Amino acid sequence: MSQDRPNLSIFIIARNEADRIGATISAALPLSDDVVVIDSGSTDETVAVARSLGARVIFNPWPGYGLQKQFGEDQCRHDWLLNLDADEVLPEDLVAEVLALFNAGEPTPAGYRMRIAEVFPGEKAPHALAYALSPVRLYHRSVGRYAPSPVHDRVQMKAGAPVLQLKGTVAHYSVRSLGDQIIKLNAYADAQAADMIARGESVSRLRMVLEFPANFIKAYLGRRHALRGTYGFMTAMNYAFYRYLRAAKYWELRLQRRRQSDD
């Protein structure tokens, strides 16, 4: 392995990602001699693909998003950590940017945000005006750690720790197909509805009625899916349905628990 790689560990959580994880690992290899894949029970070739590229693969039953990423952090050998999802690919300019941070030795402990933009089927790169998120993904373990949420994955930074923005954009190949997206969003709606109940969050009947139209507008206009043609319209519809479904599943769970308490 190259001696020029930073003292940086990369960790990836995965399940049935054989068709995507290879590109994710390959693009990130110039950055690390410690790539860790946390697999939660893949039934495809995910494990074989990851190992063929030199990654360490560790099985851990699925505990939820934040907790799985905490488990991944704990398996890493280095103190600088880079988290990627199995459908995210680092472009060459962002790899070069991270390498430059470590050229003069390890940077001061901090967190670095990375711009992440979706790439839809048929697109070769993120649209220039694509909606993007910028979460902390590169950080020193002394100042950051994933929150233990079952449905959210967010790095919690220590108070006063510097948080900087990297310039490059991660390509997020999140949509295999519309049907696959619906399956994924349905499962996410289940988890989020249960989490809302557990946290005592309330959802009004009016909000449930408005969830679909409001979130279609949010995705189609606010997140600029309108710029992505017919596929953008269809994915905006999927997003709106997912948000409605999350609210509906919350109400269904609440009614079920009421009936159980009445029995």
Q: What is the DSSP letter of 108?
A: P
Residue 96 has pLDDT above 70, yes or no: yes
Distance CA 120, CA 9 (A): 28
CATH 3.90.550.10 in the chain: give the residue spans: 8-172
Read off the pLDDT of residues 3-20 as tens digits, 9 standing for 90 and up.
589 999 999 999 999 999
Residue 262 has pLDDT above 80, yes or no: no
Kindly state which CATH superfamily the domain 8-172 is placed in.
Answer: Spore Coat Polysaccharide Biosynthesis Protein SpsA; Chain A (3.90.550.10)
Average pLDDT of the segment spanning 208-216: 95
**Could you give the angle at which helices 229-262 and 205-217 cross, rounded to 10 degrees?**
170
The per-residue pLDDT for 260 is: 81
213 sits in which H/E element: helix 205-217
The per-residue pLDDT for 2 is: 44
Instruction: Determine the 3-state secondary structure of 201 from DSSP.
Output: coil
**Cβ neighbours around 213 below 10 Å, total:** 11
Question: CB within 8 A of 46, min separation 6: which ones?
Answer: 14, 15, 16, 17, 18, 21, 37, 39, 86
SS3 for 57-103 is: EEECCCCCHHHHHHHHHHHCCCCEEEEEECCEECCHHHHHHHHHHCC
Backbone φ and ψ of 225, nearest 5°: -65, -20
Judged by average pLDDT, the poorest of 44-48, 133-137, 224-228 is 224-228
Read off the pLDDT of residues 123-138 as tens digits, 9 standing for 90 and up.
888 888 889 999 999 9
Question: CB within 8 A of 159, min separation 6: which ones?
Answer: none
Q: What is the DSSP letter of 219?
A: I
Judged by average pLDDT, the poorest of 169-183, 193-207, 236-250 is 193-207
Which residues partner with 8 through β-bridges? 80
The per-residue pLDDT for 263 is: 67
* Amino acid letter for position 210: L
Average pLDDT of the segment spanning 97-110: 94
Residue 98 has pLDDT above 60, yes or no: yes
**Cβ neighbours around 204 below 10 Å, total:** 9
Q: What is the dihedral of CA 10, 14, 17, 22, to 10 degrees?
A: 10
Max Cα distance, the chain (Å): 67
